[in-house]
Amino acid sequence: MTVTRLLLLGPPGSGKGTQAEILARRLGIPQIATGDMLRAAVDAGSAVGRQAQGFMDRGELVPDDVVIGVAEARLMEPDAVKGFILDGFPRTPAQAEALDAMLERLRVSLECCLALHVDEEELVARLLRRAQIEGRSDDNEQTIRTRMQVYREKTQPLVDYYDRRGVLREVEGDGDIGEVASRIEEALRR
């Protein structure tokens, strides 16, 4: 059976975006990345963008109601009917519960939560490397530290949340991109 409704959970820099993109291409289903959508909203100067920008620049989470609205609108688009890869959503227990409610309304269920594990030193090194290449406004040392702390406090509890649901599959996220992609493929076959 092919898994088509999944989410990637992991700290900043763990490779959610990188691996979600690979999986989306392989499975032919959309990647739904709230961070990318919020950055696009900031660039467009929309109401959502104006609400989100300060939080993003500080490395804090954008308020649940804003992000839930963004994710829900995207999940309701027709291409998500055949499946989706959630990248960076949910990030709080309230978001996870909102996702459950959305999926219930759509009469589908989440099949798999892939949790990526990478040492914090490696995470910081990856993000500082990206800072030099892409210049994402939240890739600076202080904001990276805040993002790590926010992950530990607000998002890490979701690992247990999805474990209790029986959909958690843990994957080592170190090593090169191809190696991690192979481990994910293996985890999806388990």
Contacts to ligand AP5 by CB under 6 A: 10, 12-18, 34-35, 38, 55-56, 59-62, 67, 88-91, 95, 126-127, 130, 138, 147, 176-177, 180
Radius of gyration of the chain (CA): 16
Measure the N-to-C terminal CA separation of the chain; round to a whole number of Å.
Answer: 10
Active site residue 189: no
Omega before residue 90 within 30° of 0, cis: yes
Instruction: Give the active site residue among 16, 74, 126, 183.
Output: 16
Q: Which does 7 bind (CB under 5 to 8 A by kind): ligand AP5, Mg ion, none?
A: none
CA distance 99 to 117: 23
Nearer to ligand AP5, 1 or 43 (CB): 43
Active site residue 126: no
Within the chain, how many helices (H) and strands (E) appear?
Answer: 9, 5
DSSP for 4-26 reads -EEEEE--TTSSHHHHHHHHHHH
| 17 part of the interface to Mg ion, by CB under 5 A | yes
Which of 50, 48, 110, 43 has its CA nearest to residue 73? 48
Active site residue 74: no
CB of 1 to ligand AP5, least distance (A): 26
CB of 19 to ligand AP5, least distance (A): 7
Binding window for Mg ion (CB under 5 A); candidates: 13-21, 59-67, 149-157, 173-181: 13-21
- Catalytic sites, residue numbers: 16, 91, 130, 136, 147
